Amino acid sequence: MDFIKGFDRNQLIMMDFEANVDHDSWARIVDWFVDALPMSELGFNDVLQSEGRPPYKASDLLKLFMYGYKKDLRTSRKLEAACKVNIEVIWLLKGLQPSARKIAYFRKNNPKAFKQSFRYFVMMLKEMNLISGETIAIDSFKIRAQNSLKNNFNQNKIDRHLEYIDGKIAEYEKQLDVDDDREDDHKEELEDKIKWQKEKKEYYKSIEKELQDSGETQISKTDPDAKSVILHRNIVNVGYNIQAGCDGKHKLFINNDTGTVNDTHALANMALDAKELLGVDKINCLTDKGYTTGVHIDTCTKNNITTFSSPKAHSSQDNGLCNMNEFIYDEKNDTYTCPAKHVLNTNGNICKKRKHRVKRYYTKACNGCQLREKCTKNKKGRFIERSIYQEALEENEKRVKQNPEYYRLRQQITEHQFGTLKRQWGFTFTLMKGKENVLSEVNLMMMCYNLRRLMSIMGTNTLKHWLRCLCLIFNHIFKPIKLDLSNFFNLKKEIDTNIFKLLRSLNLSI
Ligand code: SF4
């Protein structure tokens, strides 16, 4: 009996890379998928120059990224190393070994092409009925940015720094006065310290000016697009809040965006974008409480998007006074009736209160009302503010209450994908700076996720057939047509009339 032994290192071995890559390996799926993409039409620069060193094909580098993003190999250095030591990557790139710099530049220089590729993929999925476009759910997740918390400032933080510096300068100056008779060395040291603090003060003053000029509430020095966000419970860090739309049929990603710190003003943009991309006349949209904003729900309603967004409690519900629910609204007369059965009228003017546009309702009956103590602390009596979007909000609330089971689908449709991206694939931080480049990473991640999900939905063999057919048909039908993707939605007509009819006719069991 002996231990299991490896091979003899000195033995010459004939090795076939093809045999070393599993039949259903991720590398093979990525290979077929990228070969089926119309690379130059999607915006990848695949032009050969007459002089200089030949470039790498964009499809090879995209394959490398799609392989790496699924396998938690995201940095250009890790990908460079993988090209030398990882058998699957060597097979995928046919032995090419691009430098880390080449790899990094490809990602940095192609943000629009990554976005187009993801959207093209989503359109393919829609045409193949893998995305239904009936119900979508929108939610967000946070990732850390390439910007430390130390390099993120708001007015309060700047004020704190300036106050500390002023205190320090005063302290050193006081010491200088007291130690007037002491040796020169000590005086010199204190003067240096004062000079250093004054330089720091200048620095913070310049940041303050930059912040005021930007009109924003915070400023990040390393990555100007990154914002201070709450990552988890009370943990604050500088990062991005990534919006993600998912389709209800197979829980596939359909679109993404970033920019806002929270979800309050993200609903309409995301829902309208999804509706336009999927080319549907109407769509249902499920979101949590964070997205419930009157103006957005109203915009969605006007654009044939039916929202099911968890209603927010009225702010007056926690203050111990008469609850807003006790005031009955009369739609016909545009009045409220209060608990003491008095009518509150409005003069019809629309006031702007912070970012909200509201109408105010009053009654003179508050003076001498027996319920006044319980109803208001305002000397002028109780008044009610009604958002001009209240009707849309109430309709939304009614829909959520009438369809609790349907609303509960939201969590099933969106949240588990974030766990896969963050916990399994390590997407808890971005390597890039700037919104556009960060979205390149998000698009890559979402393409990988959708492709991996297709492996589960269709089975590896059917997916391979599908991608092979797509590749063949694209190369033999689309290439001679010379598609112009500059107007992206012209593509849809071409797809309808050509590629997907042929694919459907192949009767693949999807
Ligand atoms: S205080 Fe005014 S609004 Fe409140 S119950 Fe009395 S009359 Fe009605």
Q: Is the CB of 321 under 6 A from ligand 1?
A: no
Q: Is the CB of 339 under 6 A from ligand 1?
A: yes
Q: Is the CB of 323 under 6 A from ligand 1?
A: no
- Per-residue pLDDT, 74: 95
Q: Is the CB of 342 under 6 A from ligand 1?
A: yes
DSSP notation for 183-212: -HHHHHHHHHHHHHHHHHHHHHHHHHHHHH
- Per-residue pLDDT, 181: 63
Measure the CA–CA gap between 509 and 462, rounded to whole angstroms.
7
Atom of ligand 1 nearest to the CA of 344: 3
- Per-residue pLDDT, 509: 41
- Per-residue pLDDT, 305: 96
Determine which residue's CA is closest to atom 2 belonging to ligand 1.
366
Handedness of CA 132, 133, 134, 140 (dihedral sign): positive
Distance between Cα 401 and ligand 1 center (Å): 29
Measure the CA–CA gap between 242 and 259, rounded to whole angstroms.
8
Contacts (Cβ under 8 Å, ≥6 apart) of 225: 145, 240, 259, 433, 434, 435, 438
Q: Is the CB of 117 under 6 A from ligand 1?
A: no
Atom of ligand 1 nearest to the CA of 338: 8
Are 157 and 186 a contacting pair, CB within 8 Å? Answer: no
Distance between Cα 367 and ligand 1 center (Å): 8
Nearest to 483 by CA among 473, 236, 405: 473
Nearest to 279 by CA among 482, 42, 37, 488: 488
- What the block records as the tokens of 2 is 């002996």
- Per-residue pLDDT, 500: 58
Q: What is the pLDDT along the chain (510 residues), one digit of tens a residue?
A: 789 988 899 999 888 899 999 988 999 999 999 998 888 888 898 777 788 888 999 999 999 999 999 999 999 999 999 999 999 999 999 999 999 999 999 999 999 999 999 999 998 888 888 999 999 999 999 999 999 999 999 999 999 999 999 999 999 988 888 766 666 777 888 889 999 999 999 999 999 999 999 888 999 999 999 999 887 777 889 999 999 999 999 999 999 999 888 899 999 999 999 999 999 999 999 999 999 999 999 999 999 999 999 998 766 656 677 888 788 888 888 899 988 888 888 887 887 766 678 888 988 888 888 888 888 888 888 888 888 898 899 999 999 999 999 999 999 999 899 999 999 999 999 999 999 999 999 999 999 999 999 999 988 888 888 887 777 666 655 554 444 444 444 554 555 555 555 555 554 444
Specify the DSSP element, H or E, that contains 442.
helix 435-458
Determine which residue's CA is closest to atom 4 belonging to ligand 1.
375
Atom of ligand 1 nearest to the CA of 339: 5
DSSP letter, residue 291: G
Atom of ligand 1 nearest to the CA of 370: 6
Q: Is the CB of 365 under 6 A from ligand 1?
A: yes
